[in-house]
Amino acid sequence: MRLARGRCFGVEAGIALCALPQGWLWRVALPDGRIWAQFLGDAADPEPAPARLVAAITAGTRCAPAPTLRLAGPLIAREAAPRLPAPVTDLRCLPVGDAFAAMDPLSGHGQFWAVSSALAAAAARRTLTADPASEDRCLRYLRERAAETAWRMARVGRDFLALETRFSGQPFWAARRALPDSLPAHESREGFAVAQALVIDNGLITEREVLKTPCSPAGIGWFGRLPAPEIYRLAQAGPEALRQRFGPQAEALLAAIESERTSPHQRVENPS
């Protein structure tokens, strides 16, 4: 990834993101002709980085010919490849964000991962403080959560890049259309099942029953503040069992169970 600023007059001010045969470009054009640009390309390309960046800016902005475009400051080059998390082995110093795992920068998942991994680390520290004997539980939670999230995000990023079909044969795009594998990004399942899983309950990591559904295959712990497995078991006895127990609230609970029957990632056919 290369980040730089330069000048290019005649470009409408604004933000743009565009795909190019050699990678993709994000740029911000200011009214005075200055451009801030970020270009992601293949590190194996033998062309010098400054020339590649200028060529990408020129192609991505349709501005003046490359010889008239000059970088106004030093070019910053960084590796920007997805990295799966290493297993957590020490709860005394927990990595978060990019120090833990790196996401595809085009996907925007890095921002989610920074917050998500920090919240998981905070839960682990709280749990360990409240229960010093919970070390194995905390380690297992961090490992499972990190692996599941990173693999899912990597596959979502792969599918997102595959939507760009114009340059599928170019080295940059071809290499990334097959990473990390060919498995679907989202787990699928049929029907409902109750199983044990690690969850956050009142800020602490605990093992309890969850309800696995087509919509939430990893498991859902609660409908609102009510345990999802308990609500599901009552519903199995019929709607009246829920109505007798929860009164008017039963209809919302029945609707919540019904909404879990279909995966949000299932293809919806056009009825027309």
On whether the pTM is more than 0.75, the answer is yes
Q: Specify the CATH architecture of the domain 2-77.
A: 2-Layer Sandwich (3.30)
Q: Which residues lie across from 195 on neighbouring strands?
A: 210
pLDDT tens digits for the chain (272 residues)?
Answer: 444 555 555 667 888 888 999 999 988 888 877 788 889 998 888 888 888 888 888 887 665 444 456 777 788 888 887 788 888 999 999 999 988 888 877 777 888 899 999 999 999 999 999 999 999 999 999 999 999 988 888 888 888 888 999 999 999 999 888 888 889 988 889 999 999 999 999 999 999 999 999 999 999 999 999 999 999 999 999 999 999 999 999 999 999 999 999 988 764 443 33
- Cα(266)–Cα(58) distance, rounded to whole angstroms? 40
Each residue of 175-209: b (16+ CB within 10 Å) or e?
ebbeeeeeeeeeeeeeebeeeebbbbeeebbbeeb
CB 23 within 8 A of CB 39: yes
Average pLDDT over the chain, rounded to an integer = 86
- pLDDT at position 8 is 55
Instruction: Provide the residue count of the chain.
Output: 272
Strands 23-29 and 204-212: unpaired
Measure the CA angle with vertex 149, ends 145 and 151; round to 5°. 120
Q: Which residues lie across from 204 on neighbouring strands?
A: 201
- pLDDT at position 10 is 61
Task: State how far the alpha carbon of 156 is from the alpha carbons of 94, 181, 229, 241, in Å.
Answer: 26, 11, 29, 40
The domain spans of the chain are 2-77, 97-176, 193-259
- pLDDT at position 93 is 92
Say if residue 218 is exposed, middle or buried (CB neighbours under 10 Å; 0-12, 13-18, 19+).
middle
In Å, how far from its chain's centre is CA 180? 14
